Amino acid sequence: MSGARIRLSVTALLFVLLQVNLAYAVSHLSAIGVWRNDDATFEIFDNQGKLSGKIIALKEAQTPEGKQKLDIHNPDPSKRERPIVGLVFMSGFSRKSDMRWEDGTIYDPKTGNTYSGSMELEGPETIKVRGFVGISLIGRTDVWTRVRSSEPSQK
């Protein structure tokens, strides 16, 4: 075999290995884990084959009076004494592709409103979470960053 053919064969083999490696990495990306935005830290977890999320820390965990923040805007008066930290506020997200989950609901404890939701991984470290009313065009997207186990959570 000539040197040019060997180089071409090695290049082709490296290309195939790189493609297999990329496909493996994409297939193993997961939304499950701990995420953070400007206000809070969240844990996304599997709940009977669908994804849910709970608030595990707040940037400002207490009211100006020094009390624990509660779910005071909940439309159900019996739930207004629930702490915000620990609140499961997202549920029912079904996987639609390797990078996207849909058909979930997102509860906003700041307003007491519940929205339809979707999530899409932008890569291993970033996820876009979208809440909307009716159709996805009418809504808001928040970008979260994955928290690595060596990082402190917000307290």
Q: Are residues 92 and 51 located together in one domain of the fold? A: yes
Q: Are residues 68 and 22 located together in one domain of the fold? A: no
User: Is the whole-model pTM more than 0.95?
Assistant: no
> Residue 152: inside a domain, yes or no?
no
- The Cα–Cα gap between 61 and 46 comes to 25
pLDDT (tens digit per residue) in 26-63: 445 899 999 999 999 999 999 999 999 999 999 998 99
> Residue 131: inside a domain, yes or no?
yes
Q: Are residues 75 and 85 located together in one domain of the fold? A: yes
Q: Are residues 23 and 35 located together in one domain of the fold? A: no
Q: Are residues 67 and 140 located together in one domain of the fold? A: yes
> Residue 153: inside a domain, yes or no?
no
pLDDT (tens digit per residue) in 57-114: 999 989 999 999 999 999 999 999 999 999 999 999 999 999 999 999 999 999 999 9
119 vs 10, 130, 137, CA distance in Å? 39, 6, 14
Q: Which domain holds residue 119?
A: 31-146
Q: Are residues 7 and 52 located together in one domain of the fold? A: no
